[in-house]
Amino acid sequence: MASIGAVATTSSTNLQANNLNLQDFLNVLLTQLTYQDPLKPMDNQQFMAQLAQFTTLGQTEQLNTNMSALLNTQATLQSVGLIGRTVDITTGTGPEAGTATGTVQALSLSGDTPTMTVQTSSGTLTGVTMSQLVNVH
């Protein structure tokens, strides 16, 4: 059974290491101009095509950032509505995995994703994420 609110995330460190900025693009462009064959100069259309590709790449990265923020906001809004509700959650991983039923007592918004405190018959579970939810009653 798929869990509610499971969201795949990417490491921001990996994305930052691979990002190119406008200065990088201009450096590549200047290098191309410096080392081009004077008898066969690059066509202006090629430069414009490269600039359009770079602009599209920047806009796509901005869209990905905005979508990630939207997903985080949606997860927060969903978790706020769970306070006081009875939920089934997965506990443990691998062979120790199981499910527990309890009531959401509190919500923490201090990290990247919201975490909940769930009161079960066997005790209190803290740090429960939206991806651990199986069912909401």
pLDDT tens per residue, range 88-128? 999 877 777 788 999 999 998 887 788 899 999 888 888 88
Mean pLDDT comparison of 21-25, 74-78, 111-115, 132-136, highest-scoring range: 132-136
Q: Using one digit for the tens of pLDDT, what is the confidence trace for 28-52? A: 878 888 888 888 777 778 878 888 8
pLDDT of residue 1: 46
| Percentage of the chain lying above the pLDDT 90 cut | 21
Q: How many residues does the chain have?
A: 137
For 83, phi and psi rounded to 5 degrees?
Answer: -60, 125
Closest among 84, 116, 81, 121 to 101, alpha carbons compared: 121
Are the CB atoms for 101 and 88 separated by under 8 Å? yes
What are the E-state strand segments in 1-137? Answer: 86-91, 98-108, 115-120, 123-129, 133-136
pTM: 0.53
pLDDT above 90: residue 67:
yes
